[in-house]
Amino acid sequence: MKRIVAKEEYCMNCRLCEVHCLVSHSRSKDLIKAFRQERGEIVPRITVERLGAVSFAVQCRHCDEPACVEACMTGALSRDPVTGEVTHDPQRCVGCWMCVMVCPTGAIRRDKSGHVAAKCDLCLETGTPACVANCPNEALVIEEDND
C-alpha cells in the first residue's frame, strides 16, 4: 500500500502540511474560506511534533494491526484487507473517542463539526495527499510499501 513517509531531517516545522490538510478536508476547499469559516470545526489530520530543532509530521500510520479498529465499537474504523488502508466511516462513528485513546501515535483527532473522529484518509479522492503535494521541502513523500 501507499504510505506517507516523514523525513525528519528535512522537516522545517513550517506546518504547511497541517494547513493544506485542513483545506483538503474542508467543505469549501479554499484556503481562506476554510480558515475563516470552518477552522475550529474541522481539524487537520496531520500534526507536526517538535522538540527543539527536530520536527516531523505525524498522521495515521495505517498499522498492520490497528488498535483503533480493535477498539471501535461500531465498526466505523476498518482495515481494508486488500490495500491495508485503515478507513473511517463517519456515518457509523458515534464519537466515543476510544480510537483517540488507543492510537499509539496520536494520529486521530476529534472533528467537532460532526462529532466524529478525523484521521488521515490519504486523500483518496484526489489521489495525492495534500500534505505531500504541498510540503515545500519534500520532507513528506509517498512511498509504495511492498510488504
Instruction: List binders of another protein among 118-147 (CB under 8 A).
Output: 134, 136-139
Question: Which three cell numbers mark 93?
Answer: 462513528
**Residue 53: what residue type?**
A
Q: Can you tell me whether residue 71 is helix, strand or coil?
A: helix
Q: Please, what is the minimum distance in Å from the beta carbon of residue 74 to another protein? A: 34
Question: Which three cell numbers mark 54?
Answer: 527536530
Q: How far apart are CA 54 and CA 66, in angstroms?
A: 27
Among 31, 94, 101, 124, interactor with another protein by CB under 8 A: 31
Residue 36 interacts with another protein (CB under 8 A): yes or no: yes
b/e 28-54 (16+ beta carbons within 10 angstroms → b): eeeeeebeeebeeebbbbbbbeeeeee
Only segment of 2-10, 67-75, 86-94, 106-114 that touches another protein (CB under 8 A): 2-10
DSSP structure class, residue 58: E
Q: Would you say 35 or 97 has its CB closer to another protein? A: 35
Q: Please report where in the chains the cell 480493535 appears, as a residue.
A: 70
Binding mask 86-125 for another protein (x = CB under 8 A): ----------------------------------------
Q: Would you say 31 or 94 has its CB closer to another protein? A: 31
Q: Please, what is the minimum distance in Å from the beta carbon of residue 78 to another protein? A: 33
78 DSSP β-pair partners: 87
| Residues making contact with another protein (CB under 8 A) | 7, 9-16, 18-20, 31-32, 35-36, 39, 52-54, 134, 136-139
